[in-house]
Structure 1
Amino acid sequence: MTEETIELIKRTTELQGISGFEHSIRDFMREEMTGLVDEIEMDGLGGLFGIKKSSDEHAPKLMLAAHMDEVGFMVSSITSKGLMKVLPIGGWNPYVVSSQRFTIQTKKGNYPLVSSSVPPHLLKGKKSESLSIDDILFDGGFESKEEAEEYGVRPGDAIVPDVETIQMANKKTFVGKAWDNRYGVTLVLELLKKLKGESLPSTLIAGANVQEEVGLRGTKGAVRKFQPDAFLAVDCSPANDLNGDKEAFGRLGDGFLLRIQDPGMLLSKEMKDYLIDTAESNNIPYQYFVSKGGTDAVAAHQLNEGIPSAVIGVPARYIHTHQSLFRIDDYEAAKEMVYQLVKTFDQSTLDTLKKF
């Protein structure tokens, strides 16, 4: 792990952009990609991809896709006291939302918020009830609805977690927001830097989609625009390793996630064999993963005439909160795996993946 990698992880994870409001991440990716690819193109919803062309004009096209967006909230209304009611953008456990710092992004500027909670002193003698996000208000310190509006607050404004990414004591572990999926953004940018000046046996279309967290929306336009022959999603998934179960799916420190099944996609035998052969021949640590949630590969593999697709993932604890905890060695394994796949993917590989 280099200082450049650490700095890039901090920058990508601390950028703020929920689904539909990915502007700062897209601008950063465009800046970082410039000079590393032959072309940079955007689809109609805002996904951004760099194209690194093969010298063979008949070479297949491989799409490598992260997603830019993170989970957050949207203002639905403003109370007379100037507090905000919200809608969740992406999946949230309501029990992790209260008493956290956020940023609201308005037309007039960005301002700090805190999510409401009830102190224990005011709960004495009251029956406990289940919590929902509808019970939580977002407080910018405004005195009234009119004052909030003077600062530009309006329904539809984005609310994003506000967190600094830090290294933990052992230097192997990081904690911060949005590793789902700034992991993928970081990997794509580092991969393109590593590939600078190298020739590839396929045309690489590498970048990030928008609006993954709200129904895998962005990848549909991107795939139709770029017409890839194969698709690799790079995405973060929940770790389930707190009790030390060696059979649990998603264990920190055990390598990248080779996703074999989720509710929307089955990994084909041909793709699984290709991934395992690549990982084992290059001594890259991996672990099988079964998921209860999907990735952009769910949408991509069903488009056009059907596209061979896979997910190269990493696990993180406590995703979709302010504090996701992840291991750098899992990231390094995923990065090396994607590098090896990109370097070897050619027409023969594509023919094998389609040989049923």
Structure 2
Amino acid sequence: MGFDFEFDLLRELTETSGVPGYEDRVRDVVKRELAERTDEVRTDAMGNVVGTVHGAADPDYEVAVAAHMDEIGFMVKHVTDGGFLKLDALGGWDARVLRAQRVRVHAEDGDLAGVIGSVPPHTLTEEERERDDSVDGVVVDLGMGSEDVEAAVSVGDLVTMEQSTVELGDCVTGKALDDRVCLFAMLEAAARVEEPDVTVRFCATVQEEVGLRGATALGVDVDPDLAVALDVTVASDVPGVDEDKQVTELGEGAAIKLKDSSVITTPKVHRRLRAVAEEEGIDHQLEVLPSGGTDTAGFQNTNGAKPVGAISVPTRYLHTVTETANGDDIAATVDLLTAFLGSETGEHDYSL
């Protein structure tokens, strides 16, 4: 099919591991890319990465753009006598999707392939069939004897899902599009924005999936005059879901966030995002997300009241290994962010 963006980089970002607090591998990719696209790059004690493009006209006015690096995953909490791994969740999993999935265990001496066990339905009782799935009930099978497992794996080792990222019709599907597709959009915008009037700080944050922790800390250090966060949002535009619960629709463009459960975006900011999209002919839709938080909230009041906005990539099947986003929506997100940053002069009044 082909897309109007660098699919290979998106695939690398999504397939690279990085759970909350241990974003090392994906952070290396982000640092490499930001070094090529910004004037300077730095990290902080939590592992957030900031690439700065200095403003040509008003360098003292700062806009922060944020997208989080971490993906939901697990930490090994116990190794059973039989050599199976019990897990503690890092982020919000829907345990129904975990049965019989392949995983990768990141042990000290290297990665190990594993599968999440699933009991054949032939042997289940009626009570077992009706029992709700939970992460606490998940076990990972490494296909090794118990002594070998105990020698190779320790409590505290990390576990991520094993999945490739592929084209699916007009879409991209794989693991960790939340939020690597937005990291990708941010990096693409960083490459396209040339000599902005204001200073732009492109922020790749950590630990969003466990409470917006990286962005909250970064909001103190960066202290922007304006912040725009990027994240995926719900697109439940599939059979069986009422239209008012679908939130967004694939193929209808970038989503401009009005609210989620963590933030109400600044009206003047989301109105200007809409105005830029209309002026540039960029497909867009409005997002009202009933539950779920984003890094937007991490910047809104951490270092005093700040104007904030957010752009979202509509995504089906969130927090699974088959997260799916439309290629045109991804391109529209890049276009809108680039146009918005290019039009920011530091003179827009976002006060209420």
- Superposition TM-score tier, normalisation by shorter sequence: over 0.9
Mapped contact 1:256–1:314 kept (Cα < 8 A): yes
SS of corresponding position for 1:294 = coil
Q: Distance in 2 between matches of 1:2 and 1:94?
A: 33
Mapped contact 2:233–2:248 kept (Cα < 8 A): yes
Counterpart of 1:98 in structure 2 is 99
Q: Distance in 2 between matches of 1:252 and 1:300?
A: 28
After superposition, the C-alpha distances for 1:80-132 in whole angstroms (9 at most, x for unaligned) are 01111101111111110110001011111111110011101211565532221
Q: 2:224 aligns with which of 225, 228, 232?
A: 228
Mapping of 1:287-298 within 5 angstroms? 287-291=285-289, 292-298=291-297
Counterpart of 1:155 in structure 2 is 155
Amino acid at match of 1:211: Q
After superposition, the C-alpha distances for 1:55-102 in whole angstroms (9 at most, x for unaligned) are 345531001111000011111111001111101111111110110001
Q: Distance in 2 between matches of 1:304 and 1:207?
A: 16
Q: Distance in 1 between matches of 2:278 and 2:122?
A: 57
TM-score by length of 2: 0.94
Amino acid at match of 2:285: Q
Q: Distance in 2 between matches of 1:185 and 1:265?
A: 20
Counterpart of 1:341 in structure 2 is 340
Q: 2:189 aligns with which of 191, 208, 213?
A: 191
Q: Distance in 2 between matches of 1:175 and 1:234?
A: 18
Counterpart of 1:325 in structure 2 is 324
Whether 1:315 aligns to 2:317 is no
Q: What is the aligned-residue identity percentage? A: 30
After superposition, the C-alpha distances for 1:281-329 in whole angstroms (9 at most, x for unaligned) are 1111111111110101112101111111111001111111111111000
Q: Distance in 2 between matches of 1:136 and 1:192?
A: 40
SS of corresponding position for 1:266 = coil
Q: Distance in 2 between matches of 1:214 and 1:227?
A: 22
After superposition, the C-alpha distances for 1:117-157 in whole angstroms (9 at most, x for unaligned) are 1101211565532221111101111211x321322x11111
Q: Distance in 1 between matches of 2:7 and 2:22?
A: 25
Mapping of 1:79-158 within 5 angstroms? 79-123=80-124, 127=128, 128-144=130-146, 146-151=147-152, 153-158=153-158
Q: Distance in 2 between matches of 1:4 and 1:328?
A: 9
Between stretches 25-34 and 330-339, larger displacement belongs to 25-34
Q: Distance in 2 between matches of 1:347 and 1:131?
A: 51
Deviation, structure 1 residue 250: 1.5
Amino acid at match of 1:12: L
Mapped contact 1:43–1:225 kept (Cα < 8 A): no
Mapped contact 1:231–1:310 kept (Cα < 8 A): yes
Whether 1:200 aligns to 2:196 is yes
Deviation, structure 1 residue 7: 1.0
Q: Distance in 2 between matches of 1:182 and 1:348?
A: 31
Q: Distance in 1 between matches of 2:114 and 2:188?
A: 33
Counterpart of 1:167 in structure 2 is 167
How many residue pairs get matched? 347
After superposition, the C-alpha distances for 1:38-64 in whole angstroms (9 at most, x for unaligned) are 110112200111100013455310011
SS of corresponding position for 1:55 = coil
TM-score by length of 1: 0.93
Q: Distance in 1 between matches of 2:3 and 2:123?
A: 49
